[in-house]
Amino acid sequence: MRLVCRLLFIGVLGMVVPAVAVGQPQANYDESKVPDYTLPDPLVTRSREKVTTAREWFAKRRPEVLGLFEEHVYGRAPEPLEGMRFMRLESSAKALDGKAVRKQVRVLFSAEESGPAMDLLIYLPKDAPRPVPVFLGLNFNGNHSVHADPAILLSTKWIRDRAPGVEKNRATEAARGTASSRWPIEAMLQRGYGVATAYSGDIDPDFHDGFENGVHPLFYGEGQTKPADDEWGTIAAWAWGLSRALDYFETDDDIDQRRVAVLGHSRLGKTALWAGARDPRFALVISNNSGCGGAALSRRAFGETVERINTSFPHWFCGNFKKYNGREGELPVDQHQLIALIAPRPVFVSSATEDRWADPRGEFLAAKGAEPVYRLLEAGGLDADEPPPPDEPVLSRIGYWIRTGPHDITAADWQVFADFADKHMRAADE
Ligand code: GTR
């Protein structure tokens, strides 16, 4: 009996079934109850002009859509400060049993050495020709969690308590390598890619403190105490941090800054999409199980809704996004347009069969909905009209797959991402 209880308990903890918040309607998982909706046409401007050339897309519609996402969804982010600089913390040419070069670099967001700052952890395949293409993504619980390599600097920052090996919001030695199943670094090195990561909490800790910690205050104007309603929330800050990593790559001859794939899982998948949409220096973009506010269409209100996400995570999006709680149909954009902002660059949307909270069908439909922009730019499209069967990746320029299994990022996902990158990022240059 006790065992049964325990198993039930673990079973419940192991699933991503968010507790029902008081006053929140039950999430809809019934396809027949998805509301009727009309998506904004990605090629028609707010003044109802249809753009018909690549030039018009880049001159008119793309800046308009980007501006709408800034104003209504993620918030505007500032330019980096002049005083930003990079500090080499550690490096080794004999990391991971001699298979890798490891570098740890601090990105100081201002001239102040006391912070805020983000530590980059970079592994490059030892013998691959330079410069190497790299996968870049933020992590949830500190760089030390991605691999058991004892040389990784143990984060001293705030980390959520329920993360393994974390006590009183600080990492202990037991936290090393606890997220390694999500970071198959050796396998990627073997495929000729570098892997770079930073702790999202270095940029902004993932809890709502009214934007006192993290990078936001560095940019407050006179008398300002929090971002304005159209200024950056936490996801926009994380995405901004990814661009600062790219700023560093531009100074490192070992890294091919023209072949950087940005990726992320879940909230960090939303972040990767927004980073890739804003910053055209990212050559390829991967969203893993990003769901609401990521790859999933908001208007379907399937699984997690705009109201639900704004209530559970009031700090993720900009203040204006809350106006759309329960009113998704009034949003001037939907998430297919976020993917369209990445065009003509390759983008891959990865779902999971058990991840209904993230609305896999809505993720597929958003990827498909970006297609008119890719076609206009003669960049191909998504070679599927309906979601493919589980575990059958579609590797067209807009790529998609749905992995069998739960909300997670796995070694199998990474292998598919490497296949996609081989096709769209490697082959072109070699
Ligand atoms: C959930 C959240 C999702 C997703 C996920 C995650 O609680 O509702 O939007 O981002 O967290 O990041 O793991």
Which amino acid residue places its CA nearest to atom 12 of ligand 1? 267
CB count in 10 Å sphere of residue 76: 16
Dihedral sign for Cα atoms in the order 321, 162, 296, 31: negative
Residue 394 lies in a domain: yes
Q: How far apart, in whole angstroms, are the C-alpha atoms of residue 121 and residue 250? A: 16
Ligand 1: which residues within 6 Å by Cβ? 18, 266-267, 291-292, 304, 309, 312
Q: How far apart, in whole angstroms, are the C-alpha atoms of residue 240 and residue 228? A: 17
How far CA 153 is from CA of 103, 141, 178, in Å, comes to 11, 13, 14
- AA letter at 126: K
Do 375 and 325 touch, CB atoms closer than 8 A?
A: no
Question: Containing domain of residue 177, as a range?
Answer: 85-255
Catalytic residue among 266, 287, 298, 351: 266
Decide if 407 is catalytic.
yes
Do 294 and 397 fall into the same domain? Answer: yes
Give the distance, in angstroms, between the CA of residue 299 and the centroid of all CA atoms in the same chain.
Answer: 21
* Domain's final residue, options 209, 228, 255: 255
**Which residues on adjacent β-strands are paired with residue 83?**
none
pTM (2 decimals)? 0.94
Residue 284: strand, helix, or coil: strand
Do 128 and 251 fall into the same domain? Answer: yes
Residue 56 lies in a domain: yes
- Best mutation site among 266, 292, 307 for ligand 1, i.e. most ligand atoms within 8 A of its Cβ? 266
Predicted local confidence at residue 239, as pLDDT = 99
How close are the terminal C-alpha atoms of the chain, in Å?
61
Do 377 and 47 touch, CB atoms closer than 8 A?
A: no
* Domains in the chain, number: 2
Do 91 and 78 touch, CB atoms closer than 8 A?
A: no
Do 116 and 248 fall into the same domain? Answer: yes
Do 189 and 303 fall into the same domain? Answer: no
Q: What is the pLDDT along the chain (430 residues), one digit of tens a residue?
A: 333 333 333 333 334 444 445 567 789 999 999 999 999 999 999 999 999 999 999 999 999 999 999 999 999 999 999 999 999 999 999 999 999 999 999 999 999 988 899 999 999 999 999 999 999 999 999 999 999 999 999 999 999 999 999 999 999 999 999 999 999 999 999 999 999 999 999 999 999 999 999 999 999 999 999 999 999 999 999 999 999 999 999 999 999 999 999 999 999 999 999 999 999 999 999 999 999 999 999 999 999 999 999 999 999 999 999 999 999 999 999 999 999 999 999 999 999 999 999 999 999 999 999 999 999 999 999 999 999 999 999 999 999 999 999 999 999 999 999 999 999 998 645 4
- Best mutation site among 305, 313, 315 for ligand 1, i.e. most ligand atoms within 8 A of its Cβ? 313
Report CA(178)–ligand 1 centroid distance (Å): 19
